[in-house]
Structure 1
């Protein structure tokens, strides 16, 4: 797949639109029927096909993130029905009418990105975007996309459908936010009255609610899981920084075991780790690079001078002798997280030392974040 999107046309006017999109909308591969060939298709990278478009759709479903069809909606529904597997994996599907007046989000509006793609394509064509998902129409929280642009991940998706129904049907919904970015409300209007925000489960459980959105880096205990996730979705913000120091040549297996065991002891989720922080002497440490690569974590490094700006309760002359810094994992974690204290100051595990800090997010209210 050379591009993320495929544009498919089967009529004369559709071909004009497809070629136009190919020029003006980045990331598109163009497909249309051979009978409309103009002779320049090879030079433009346009793919020609014969017979029914239905024959090429299975391949397009496998190869592209989004499929834009200049074909009638009814025909598209019939053709794609046998190809559908799961909304978490199906590509975005859009339909454009033959006059280019409407761009319709058909499939995978949220998780597949069809709604946003519809808006983008409609803007290029100066057409009307047609989006029918309730949360978009009502201007409320899309449960399956909540926090995605902030880097949050969903840790429990089983109840996404009933929780979404509670949100759009204006049932009492509790948002329990223990950490993470506060600027998740994207509309220039107040949060709907049926959605209440709480700082912790204790305060949320003082009032009745039908569904919960839980934003936490904690491993929830059994009671919280039972009461909050019976009809709730759990989100993992990128809120933890691992400060790591290690002896030269420490392997991936030892580093990984130390990190995972420590996070388990602290009852923290590895899915909420944002990055690893260390001294710049370790920027080429193979084990650290392999750890960060495996978990898709950024490796942030600091000079000894930067690390020494952090006041440490237990500065080490031995560490200073070898690195020029009075500590590595502890100050690196605080500097990277912008925090004033640690969740774990320092733990020595074999050939590594580990500190954990929680990112200091601005404490905006929902109303303030609307205008942030």
Structure 2
């Protein structure tokens, strides 16, 4: 269930009866409540006469999920000018004023509307209305599968449409999952799971789930790359952009690692002004966190110590300690050192 630290959720209503249902939803889902001024309590967020459209459109732009307790037509006309793309639009649900039905209206898979609708329908003892083809056919969807590991795959729209259409039509689609990620996919309905890649059929579309890149190219295949790996980085002062790019590339080659699997970088606070680290974070489009020596010290004890590094920055190991501190998990690679730059990788639990 969403919390204050989770997705941003807004619940909006128009009528007195809708207000009653909206309050129930906001309480159960820990969402923000937005009501007409004439029905709102003094401590509730409200909008005045003629301000519904502005308020609803603002929620659409700011929230991860918008729940509208009103007629579907009103919602469609209100949000229509703002709809852009399934990759950026929020989830939008519509609930009738008697809470008989919860409709997944927009962004069913990527935005999570289908999951929200199912959850809310359970809370309200309502019927979830979900029209996505893969859901109505009770098969897993490629984009939903990828979300379970925060996965990236190329040509998102094309491949999503292609593979989901095949799955919804009951056509064969094979899947091979790297053993490191097997436990994250309890539902593979519609897929034919392979034990090894060697079992793949030449004429059947294939989905590969792995953070590695050592796969033979196949015409009818797509790779889902889990974004679960974090890099800890240590370096001497003033390393260049070229140096860190080269070291990162060599690290990926050594571990046959897909760079798209990196979701975060970390280092020690004393390196927060190193342009090369920021350059790598910008290149990968991931956040970078700089920790104090005290914050890194507990994790650093799990790895070999350098007296020189400890004297210089206050902790005897930076790369491994930063990687572990980012994810809370021990590193899964040895410390990689080249050109006075060190890198280590850990993998977050999902």
Scaled by the length of structure 2, the TM-score of the pair is 0.74
Partner of 1:50: 50
1:216 alignment partner, one of 191, 196, 210: 210
Q: How far off is 1:88 after superposition? A: 1.1
Partner of 1:196: 193
Residue aligned with 1:106, SS: strand
Partner of 2:302: 306
1:92-131 matches, within 5 Å, as 92-131=91-130
Partner of 1:346: 336
The whole-number CA distance in structure 1 between the counterparts of 2:28 and 2:189 is: 38
The whole-number CA distance in structure 2 between the counterparts of 1:86 and 1:176 is: 29
Partner of 2:271: 285
Residue aligned with 1:166, SS: helix
The whole-number CA distance in structure 2 between the counterparts of 1:59 and 1:39 is: 19
Q: How far off is 1:296 after superposition? A: 2.8
Residues 168, 5 of structure 1: CA spacing in aligned structure 2 closer, same or farther, 3 A cutoff?
same
1:237 alignment partner, one of 223, 226, 233: 226
Residue aligned with 2:148, SS: helix
The whole-number CA distance in structure 2 between the counterparts of 1:219 and 1:174 is: 19
Matched pairs, number: 327
Partner of 2:250: 262
Q: How far off is 1:274 after superposition? A: 5.5
Residue aligned with 1:6, SS: strand
Question: Contact 1:6–1:64 (CA<8 Å) still a contact in 2?
Answer: yes
Question: Contact 1:263–1:269 (CA<8 Å) still a contact in 2?
Answer: no
Residue aligned with 1:105, SS: strand
1:1-372 matches, within 5 Å, as 4-32=8-36, 34=37, 37-38=38-39, 40-41=41-42, 43-50=43-50, 53-54=52-53, 56-157=55-156, 158-178=158-178, 180-187=180-187, 191-192=188-189, 194-200=191-197, 203-205=198-200, 207-219=201-213, 224=217, 226-229=218-221, 232=222, 234-238=223-227, 240=229, 242=231, 244-247=233-236, 249-250=237-238, 253=241, 256-263=244-251, 265-266=253-254, 268-273=257-262, 282=268, 284-286=270-272, 287=274, 290=278, 295-296=286-287, 301=296, 305-308=301-304, 319-320=306-307, 322-323=309-310, 339=332, 346-349=336-339, 351-354=340-343
Question: Contact 1:179–1:217 (CA<8 Å) still a contact in 2?
Answer: no
Q: How far off is 1:163 after superposition? A: 0.4
Residues 257, 49 of structure 1: CA spacing in aligned structure 2 closer, same or farther, 3 A cutoff?
farther
The whole-number CA distance in structure 2 between the counterparts of 1:159 and 1:39 is: 46
Partner of 1:366: none
Residues 327, 169 of structure 1: CA spacing in aligned structure 2 closer, same or farther, 3 A cutoff?
same
Q: How far off is 1:164 after superposition? A: 0.7
The whole-number CA distance in structure 2 between the counterparts of 1:244 and 1:77 is: 48
Higher relative contact order (CA 8 A, sep 6+): 1
| Aligned alpha-carbon RMSD (Å) | 4.1
Scaled by the length of structure 1, the TM-score of the pair is 0.70
Question: Contact 1:307–1:332 (CA<8 Å) still a contact in 2?
Answer: no
Residues 11, 353 of structure 1: CA spacing in aligned structure 2 closer, same or farther, 3 A cutoff?
closer
Larger radius of gyration: 1
Residue aligned with 1:46, SS: strand
